[in-house]
Structure 1
Amino acid sequence: MASIPYWRLSGFYLFYFAVLGAVAPFLGLYFDHLGFSAERIGELVAIPMLMRCLAPNLWGWLGDVTGRRLAIVRIGALCTLLSFSLILFDKRYAWLALVMALHAFFWHAVLPQFEVITLAHLRHQAARYSQVRLWGSIGFILAVVGLGGLFERFGLDLYPAALMAIMAGILVASAWVPDAVPEQRPEPIGQGGFIRQLCRPGVLAFFACVGLMQVSHSPYYTFLSLHLEALGYGRGLIGLLWALGVVAEILLFLVMAPLLARFSLRQVLLASFIIAAVRWLMLGTLADHLSVLLVAQLMHAATFGSFHAAAIHFVQRSFGHRQQGQGQALYATVAGIGGALGALYSGYSWASLGPLWTFAIASLAATAAAVIIAIPTQENRV
């Protein structure tokens, strides 16, 4: 790693995913603290996901056209912080919806472009991406454990300030990272432009699975903390349980390079989808048993870790260097569509059907993804 700015890249991932560590377990709790119903919580959580459908493609196109990806990352980080600071002025539903939309528009500009910069630095060491990305998982752990203890002791009124402090860390880290340009490698023979590359059967199947996987994760990200709190778990323990899942994810990232050398991307994705289907059933039916909950959290290594690492590699292989930004942006967009649909369904399902059926629907979505990726196509050589 001596030839790449390992610690600078890693520092950015640490702060970026620390924001996710502050959002995933605690945003729903914060909205519940403000007195919103499950339906309204689902809608507010869905809004950033919906912005993920628009923002990455716009910023991805801009990055590919201008080549100024790092400038986009830095502007996005600054505007994310400024936009979210508007939450300090009002807590009504309409204002919060505006804040969720505005800050997400800029936040979702950041990661797809930074993924291209990271892979450009790594060049022929792309299999070592997981060793950089694991620092994002460490940032997530620090956030969920630290904030879990903080909120248990001092309450959720501190939530906006805590999140803004982490967003400021993204801005500082982006200023520390040197720029890099993707390698000018030949375009894959016979693939043509972005649309033609996208329309190959194997690529379309992959993106359908990405959307379904994010649908399946939505009850987990939106309501797991509320679910566990209703079952009697304290906020400190809830933070530790979230951290356990990410520890498993880190361990998976450490061995991802040899796993990808031994198994195809398609095999890794299939295993991730099957494990996700089982995991959601466990959380929906047996989360009151701590031992089962611990096993379910360890399964995060597959449902997020191996899935995300394999997906990033798939996108890199499927698009030429001139379409890398658009490819990574489309991955974020499809994930956003799935996440938004999942957050909406889980909000209404949670209120009317309860946790068991909400997680059962999530399991069905993951199962559908497994079926799609398991069906061979002429070009589905993932």
Structure 2
Amino acid sequence: MTAPSGFSVTAGAPPYFAARIALVFCAPMMVNGIALPFFPVWLETLKMSDFQIGIVLAVPMFVRVFTAPIAGVVADRLGERSIVLIWSGVLSLVTAVALFATGSFWPILLLYTLQGAVYSPYVPITEAIMLSGVRRWNFDYGKMRLWGSLAFVVATMVGGWLAGLFGGAMVLPAMAVAFVLTVLAALIAPKTGKPRRPSPIAAVATMPTKSTLRLWDVQLLMIGGSLVSASHAMLFAFSAIYWQKMGFSGTDVGILWSAGVLAEVVMFVFSVQLRRRFNLWSMMTLGCAVAVVRWALFPIEMSFTGYLVLQCLHAFTYAIIHMSLQSRLVERVAEEQEGAAQGLYFFYNGIFMAIATFASGYVFSWYGVSGFYLMSAVAAAGLVCVVAGRFVAPRPDIQPQSVASGG
């Protein structure tokens, strides 16, 4: 039987590299597919306040900004990056099991923060192994990465169905099962040997070079993109709680979350065609503007269909911005500075998301769903940064027909 396109055996590569790394990427996405929508629901069943929920979700985000780069450095110096994957999966599973014995704010905050620390390198290191396959053996990144998104959708749908049956009580068992899968996936991860190029997250542990810092258009672009990403914080923390209070079932919540991811996947599928037809700056500006509108409309009480449409806008508020930003970094940042730029982008994303999540706990507690107007303001700040970056960018680089833009 012929292997599917993009998954064939390549000379010199570990056996079935693409299929194995796709499975490895599915495991953490199943964890995220349960934890992102439904962990806040479990916290609410413990009678935690909104700002306590915000703190529990935000503190691990602060921690991972510093633990993931350290783990990236360790992984790069080891003979095999997959060793760190095994340790990350095992320790994360231990913390997931320990959560069964807790039920109050401080123990949960401690354990969930510890889980965030040990789990933080799993996805970035999997990405690093995947990129090694792209660089060395010309595997198709999109076809490998796509399975992770599909796994997220499946986990979210199953989680929604289980939430409809068992409520928030299903969250910890489902997360524990998903963490078991991360351990099993780490054991089958392809062995690629000592990396030829450092992981992007490892670059956070060192200061970016001055030449990277002097590119003001790049700095403004990364800050703007990170602010728009951070404007999703209240959605991640409180959307499932809000929708359930509106009377939507667990399955409905799962569908709403899955719709956003599927829209994101569709946008990535057509990314090459979009880059050939549109300027990168225009796509980023559009994505930021759509984010401003998306969060401004969210407080309006609407039907399931209305929220489904808003969720599909995730294709613009995340996918098109991320795709365009990464393409712009390729254009403006020299290859030897790629790690520093990606590391700095990871840092901006992590810090802004943590701050926004922390703030959203208080804002949602005070103003309820009207707090999404603050998220709209955060997205507007990101839009201003992107527009400013376009204004200060070198003129030849912003022409629609530039070679790197695909025109």
TM-score tier (shorter): 0.7 to 0.9
Select which of 13, 22, 28 maps to 1:10: 22
Asked whether 1:164 is paired with 2:143, we answer no
Kindly name which structure, 1 or 2, has the bigger radius of gyration based on alpha carbons. Answer: 2
Distance in 2 between residues matched to 1:248 and 1:207, nearest whole Å: 23
Asked whether 1:334 is paired with 2:361, we answer no
Asked whether 1:345 is paired with 2:359, we answer yes
Select which of 120, 125, 133 maps to 1:108: 120
- Displacement of 1:313 in angstroms is 4.7
Map 1:165-184 onto structure 2 (within 5 A): 165-180=177-192
Distance in 2 between residues matched to 1:25 and 1:290, nearest whole Å: 17
8 Å contact kept, 2:225–2:386: no
Map 1:141-160 onto structure 2 (within 5 A): 141-160=153-172
Q: What residue number does 2:313 align with?
A: 299
8 Å contact kept, 1:272–1:306: yes
Q: What residue number does 2:111 align with?
A: 99
Asked whether 1:215 is paired with 2:215, we answer no
Asked whether 1:234 is paired with 2:249, we answer yes
Map 1:344-363 onto structure 2 (within 5 A): 344-356=358-370, 358-363=371-376
Map 1:70-109 onto structure 2 (within 5 A): 70-109=82-121
- Which stretch of structure 1 is more off in the superposition, 76-85 or 293-302? 76-85
Distance in 2 between residues matched to 1:110 and 1:66, nearest whole Å: 15
Change (3 A) 1:12 1:151: same
Distance in 2 between residues matched to 1:96 and 1:363, nearest whole Å: 30
Distance in 1 between residues matched to 2:139 and 2:276, nearest whole Å: 9
Change (3 A) 1:292 1:149: same
8 Å contact kept, 1:151–1:158: yes
- Which stretch of structure 1 is more off in the superposition, 14-23 or 323-332? 323-332
- Which stretch of structure 1 is more off in the superposition, 131-140 or 159-168? 131-140
8 Å contact kept, 1:241–1:297: yes
8 Å contact kept, 1:60–1:325: no
Distance in 2 between residues matched to 1:36 and 1:44, nearest whole Å: 10
Q: What residue number does 1:118 align with?
A: 130
Aligned to 2:102, the other structure's residue is in SS state coil
Q: How many residues align?
A: 374
Q: What residue number does 1:137 align with?
A: 149
Task: Give the CA RMSD over aligned residues.
Answer: 2.8
- Displacement of 1:203 in angstroms is 2.8
Q: What residue number does 1:58 align with?
A: 70
Asked whether 1:225 is paired with 2:237, we answer no
Change (3 A) 1:67 1:112: farther
List per-residue Cα deviations over 1:162-183 (Å, max 9, x = no partner).
1011112122222222134666
List per-residue Cα deviations over 1:275-327 (Å, max 9, x = no partner).
211111221224x2233212101111222222334445555666666665555
Distance in 2 between residues matched to 1:90 and 1:325, nearest whole Å: 39
Aligned to 1:177, the other structure's residue is in SS state coil
Aligned to 2:392, the other structure's residue is in SS state coil
Change (3 A) 1:175 1:134: same
**Partner AA of 2:68 in structure 1:** P
8 Å contact kept, 2:61–2:354: yes
Change (3 A) 1:260 1:249: same
Change (3 A) 1:368 1:359: same
**Partner AA of 1:101 in structure 2:** T
TM-score, normalised to structure 1, is 0.88
Query: For structure 1, which runs of at least 5 residues remain unmatched after alignment?
Result: 186-192
The percent identity for this pair of structures is 23
Q: What residue number does 2:401 align with?
A: none
Query: For structure 2, which runs of at least 5 residues remain unmatched after alignment?
Result: 1-5, 199-206, 399-407
Distance in 1 between residues matched to 2:380 and 2:89, nearest whole Å: 36
List per-residue Cα deviations over 1:238-276 (Å, max 9, x = no partner).
111111111212222222233234445433332221221
Aligned to 2:191, the other structure's residue is in SS state coil
- Which stretch of structure 1 is more off in the superposition, 76-85 or 42-51? 76-85
Q: What residue number does 1:189 align with?
A: none
8 Å contact kept, 2:33–2:153: yes
Q: What residue number does 1:289 align with?
A: 303
8 Å contact kept, 1:113–1:325: no
